[in-house]
Amino acid sequence: MPNDSTSSFYAENAETYANRTRSLPKLELDAFLAGLAPGASILELGCGAGQDSAYMLQQGFDVTPTDGSAELARQAEARIGRPVRVMLFQHLDAENAYDGVWAHASLLHVPRPELPDVFARIRRALRPSGLLHASFKAGEAEGHDGLGRYYNYPSAAWLSDILTNGGWRDIAIAEHDGGGYDGKPTRWLTVSARQ
């Protein structure tokens, strides 16, 4: 978590956040999983309440769930029945360990100056040709939402430059309208790239 207000929000609202009505990002999940071999090893960064990890586990994948919030990690553990590692993205130190990294609506909390390093850490954690999925709330400048949470609010061009300069291949960035926990209309960027 990049700052105290974001960390505090998830610590104080973990149970409510975890038990909210949330549509599984099934189209994105299925597209991501289709790009991996059956039973592939997946690292989930920012698993929240664990719904996405639970789905990937049900599909037969070997999932390692992580979250930066100890309180959310406990909620996820209760849902999926396995340990969830409490870890900040900036502390990822795995090398050549995963076939895929799923970071749905999580890296959007990484401070802009730290994002290139986090992408580099993810790239090191992936095996050759490993697949990354990440999604962000689109924008032009970092800021906070009405709940006090920090967002990096990138543009597609800005993200594309970081990924290209970081050595990623097969970069695709899609845009669509949706919503978020705060109930506000949101423009989303969905990133797919290979190590």
Tell me the pLDDT tens digit for each residue of 107-155: 999 999 999 999 999 999 999 999 999 999 999 999 999 888 999 999 9
Q: How confident is the model at residue 22 (pLDDT cuts 50, 70, 90)?
A: confident
Q: How confident is the model at residue 1 (pLDDT cuts 50, 70, 90)?
A: very low
Q: Which long-range contacts (CB under 8 A, 24 or more apart) does 59-65 make?
A: 59/33, 61/33, 61/36, 64/98
CATH number at residue 117: 3.40.50.150
Instruction: Please state, in angstroms and rounded to a whole number, the distance separating the CA atoms of residues 153 and 146.
Output: 14
Q: Determine whether 117 is exposed, middle or buried from the number of CB atoms within 10 Å of its CB (0-12, 13-18, 19+).
A: middle
Residue 12 has a pLDDT of 76
Q: How many structural domains comprise the chain?
A: 1
Average pLDDT over residues 170-191: 88
Q: Is the pLDDT of residue 65 over 50?
A: yes
Residue 3 has a pLDDT of 59
Percent of the chain with pLDDT strictly greater than 90? 81
Q: How open is the CA angle 157-2-89, to the nearest 5 degrees? A: 75
Q: How confident is the model at residue 50 (pLDDT cuts 50, 70, 90)?
A: very high
Q: Is the pLDDT of residue 7 over 60?
A: yes
List Cα–Cα distances, 114 to 17, 88, 121, 162, 192, in angstroms: 26, 12, 11, 11, 19
For CA atoms 9, 12, 15, 16, give the dihedral sign. Answer: negative
Range of the domain at 72: 4-194
